Homo-oligomer: A and B are copies of this chain.
Amino acid sequence: MSQTAEQELALAEESAPTTRCRILATAERFFREIGYQKTTVADIAKTLRMSPANVYRFFDSKKAINEAVVERVTREVEALIATIAAAPGLSASERIAEIVRALHSDCLERCRQNPRIHEMVEAAMTESWEVCRHHVDRILAVLVRVVTEGARTGEFAAEDPVLAAQCVHVAIVRYCHPVLVSQYPNGPAPPIEAMIAFVLRALQARPASA
């Protein structure tokens, strides 16, 4: 083993989580600037003054780096909607409305402000990367929690809260799916508030209006 490799190994063992984080932060910066497809492991390694082999000690492949960056990006909105689901003083309807708005804004903002990161999330969705399935599962879990709570208190009429939550999730796909949001920014769709009201009518024990 060369001296450099030994030094790298020592460094990696000392601070594995830190090194992992630095690789991801650097990768994300490259992805934002030149896109994930043009970024190479060599670029990332060079910026961090380490060998590509050392990057591969933390991530099996470039795809593993891509997936970890997508996970970082999607974890933010997951944390946000989990907070909304647990926030005190909101009705289940208000929670659903806020969650849908959060998912929509997150997708829209990334599409506008970080088009290259959005592109990567879009590819991840299209190619069904494992990380996306988990992201969708976690969103669904939050919706199930809120719908179940609404059914328990009688605010919602859902006989099967899991199924009802899946229906909510599918009903708002036009507003939260990276492919649809980016490809049809001006496509025909009612305003999101109208769609939220529609979804709540489907959930609520009594019609919202007589």
Interface residues in A176-195 by Cβ distance below 8 A to B read 177, 179-180, 183-184, 187-190, 194-195
Asked whether any CB of chain B lies closer than 8 Å to the CB of A167, the reply is yes
Interface residues in A148-188 by Cβ distance below 8 A to B read 157, 159, 163-164, 166-167, 169-171, 173-174, 177, 179-180, 183-184, 187-188
Neighbour of A209 across the interface among B140, B159, B163, B201, CB < 8 A: B159
Asked whether any CB of chain B lies closer than 8 Å to the CB of A113, the reply is no
Copies of this chain, tallied across the complex:
2
Q: How far is the CA of A174 from the CA of B210 in the complex (A)?
A: 30
CB of A190, distance to nearest CB on chain B (Å):
4
Contact (Cβ within 8 A) B195 A170: yes
Contact (Cβ within 8 A) A201 B201: yes
Asked whether any CB of chain B lies closer than 8 Å to the CB of A136, the reply is yes
A contact patch SS = helix
Contact (Cβ within 8 A) A198 B171: yes
Asked whether any CB of chain B lies closer than 8 Å to the CB of A205, the reply is yes
Chain B residues with CB under 8 Å of A126's CB are 183
Contact (Cβ within 8 A) B140 A184: no
CB of A121, distance to nearest CB on chain B (Å):
14
| A202-B201, A207-B206 as given contacts; A190 in contact with B173, CB under 8 Å | no
Asked whether any CB of chain B lies closer than 8 Å to the CB of A199, the reply is yes
9 contacts between A and B (CB under 8 A): A126-B183, A133-B188, A137-B188, A157-B201, A169-B188, A170-B174, A170-B189, A171-B198, A177-B180
| Chain A to chain B: the 3 pairs with minimum beta-carbon distance, closest first | A202-B202, A167-B198, A166-B190
**A interface list, Cβ under 8 A from B:** 126, 128, 133, 136-137, 140, 157, 159, 163-164, 166-167, 169-171, 173-174, 177, 179-180, 183-184, 187-190, 194-195, 198-199, 201-203, 205-207, 209-210
